[in-house]
Structure 1
């Protein structure tokens, strides 16, 4: 009887949980799940991989740094065939990548080589992309640069938020892995070199990066709002000493009045924002200092209508 392929799985977040389920469904022997301690300062809105692993009686490790010599030795002793990394947040260094007999593979939340690096879904929305997806690729020392084994595209609709697109990317990751895994385990999966010159690399983002510049075109502001909408920290501005977070907007055809004079105004019981190019956004929801406020009530709360934004 042929032994099942053995894997060590580095995983976190919803993509980690769904892809771990795929490996188990295909009979992969998961010898260890390596995941992260949750950050108490972070909004944990996603599934915990550690809980899923324990449901399946899979040992769990949460090293502060998996690249330390003692942890490397622990994984060497397991003699795995594969490493899989699914939304694990630390880079695996060459000493780790040399361990699995049949290589290490990472699932990335973009259509590589585009949007290599951190938070690819958020960056794709910021740049107004109409498509993204998930890519399974071989891990090499350079981030998101190894041969591509599988990809699955998903659409980005004009008013989709990052949370909605992330849900699509999670499904795309599951589909891509499920479809290619039999060939990968059999040793027959195609490995296509990534053309890095055709792609891009982006770093992480901070909450402060969500500050709205209303002098920007409406499309730019709208893309920022949806790219960092809850469960992410949100797009915000400060007015009258109050922090106002716009949690959802819709792009509105037309506008083009008074370019260069951004303002908030009510019309027909709804709140609108005119941006720097004269383009208009319909503000669907917002928070003031952490409290949900009806959008149309904001001008009265601020004591003026319209509300100048610069």
Structure 2
């Protein structure tokens, strides 16, 4: 039985680990998991420490601060994997780490490579209104998300999806690709497809302050930002009376919802209107002639609440 090590710290990595551990048709042994130390994981929005998996399956988990430190390298050498699978790990692997396993390192990236190389790709994809998305496994080299593709699954991002539900889809596609390929990969059998560099799009890391939107923005731009940055991410927000109003859930107000109250609201100068007790209507766009419906909000660090409970 060939041996694999997983380097991961998110919900996608969890499904990869579970697939290897629980699928009786897989003939590859998980010899260990490397995860990020919890004190460092606090800064990662979708961090998962896998403590429950450690207890339930009695697997070896090494919590580290840096994959390239000597302590990490020595631990990998000790478990002797023939293949390393990486998912959701921000640090670039050194040349030394890339050579530790007999058949190298396979990376999982939550984007349809070569589109979406770099950081926060799912968030960026939703912000940019992408309707088609994907999940990719590739052979790692000394550049970020650059190696040849060895498996890829594509799927649609629906209007009802947000960053969490897209990651749920990615968790499923990752597990499926592991199911289909892990026994071949762990023996060094790869079907390689070189990435087309002319189609590569690279995204930079995002910061919480980039979550701000203006009420003058288009409804599409606002809704996409809310969907992309909702929990467990830092959130999309606008400033009202010097306070940050985080919006965790919002929808377009459809034309068939335009009752007399909504039409009257459009004619008035006010920008906010309570709607059906729990919701808040907001005029948006340059001309303030479009309406979105806020569902769940949070004012600064106060508890989350229904948008209709906001006091003006």
TM-score normalised by structure 1 residue count: 0.85
| Cross-structure match for 1:272 | 281
Are 1:21 and 2:38 an aligned pair?
no
Contact 1:119 1:203 in 2 (8 A): yes
Call closer, same or farther: CA 1:100–1:237 in 2, change over 3 Å.
same
- How far the C-alpha of 1:217 sits from its partner, in A, is 1.4
Call closer, same or farther: CA 1:179–1:166 in 2, change over 3 Å.
same
Q: Return the alpha-carbon distance in structure 1 between the equivalents of residues 270 and 140 of structure 2.
A: 46
Call closer, same or farther: CA 1:293–1:18 in 2, change over 3 Å.
closer
| Cross-structure match for 1:85 | 86
Of 243-252 and 53-62, the range deviating more from structure 2: 53-62
| Cross-structure match for 1:263 | 271
Pairing 1:48-87 to 2, within 5 Å after superposition: 48-87=49-88
Pairing 1:1-310 to 2, within 5 Å after superposition: 4-24=1-21, 25=23, 26-39=26-39, 41-42=42-43, 47-253=48-254, 263-266=271-274, 270-277=279-286, 278-289=289-300, 290-298=302-310, 301-302=311-312
Call closer, same or farther: CA 1:135–1:250 in 2, change over 3 Å.
same
Contact 2:225 2:236 in 1 (8 A): yes
Larger RCO, structures 1/2 (Cα 8 Å, 6+ apart): 2
SS in 1 for 2:136: strand
Contact 2:83 2:186 in 1 (8 A): no
Of 8-17 and 286-295, the range deviating more from structure 2: 286-295
Contact 2:106 2:139 in 1 (8 A): yes
- How far the C-alpha of 1:102 sits from its partner, in A, is 1.0
Of 95-104 and 187-196, the range deviating more from structure 2: 187-196
SS in 2 for 1:62: strand
List gaps (5 residues or longer) in structure 1.
Answer: 303-310
Call closer, same or farther: CA 1:98–1:273 in 2, change over 3 Å.
same
List gaps (5 residues or longer) in structure 2.
Answer: 259-264
Call closer, same or farther: CA 1:185–1:73 in 2, change over 3 Å.
closer
Q: Return the alpha-carbon distance in structure 2 between the equivalents of residues 271 and 74 of structure 1.
A: 54
Of 13-22 and 63-72, the range deviating more from structure 2: 63-72
Q: Give the paired residue count.
A: 294
TM-score normalised by structure 2 residue count: 0.85
- How far the C-alpha of 1:164 sits from its partner, in A, is 1.5
- How far the C-alpha of 1:224 sits from its partner, in A, is 0.5
Of 12-21 and 283-292, the range deviating more from structure 2: 283-292
- How far the C-alpha of 1:22 sits from its partner, in A, is 2.0
Contact 1:159 1:250 in 2 (8 A): no
Contact 2:107 2:138 in 1 (8 A): yes
Q: Return the alpha-carbon distance in structure 2 between the equivalents of residues 223 and 110 of structure 1.
A: 17
Q: Return the alpha-carbon distance in structure 2 between the equivalents of residues 215 and 31 of structure 1.
A: 54
Q: Return the alpha-carbon distance in structure 2 between the equivalents of residues 45 and 140 of structure 1.
A: 25
Q: Return the alpha-carbon distance in structure 1 between the equivalents of residues 270 and 32 of structure 2.
A: 54
Q: Return the alpha-carbon distance in structure 1 between the equivalents of residues 109 and 270 of structure 2.
A: 38
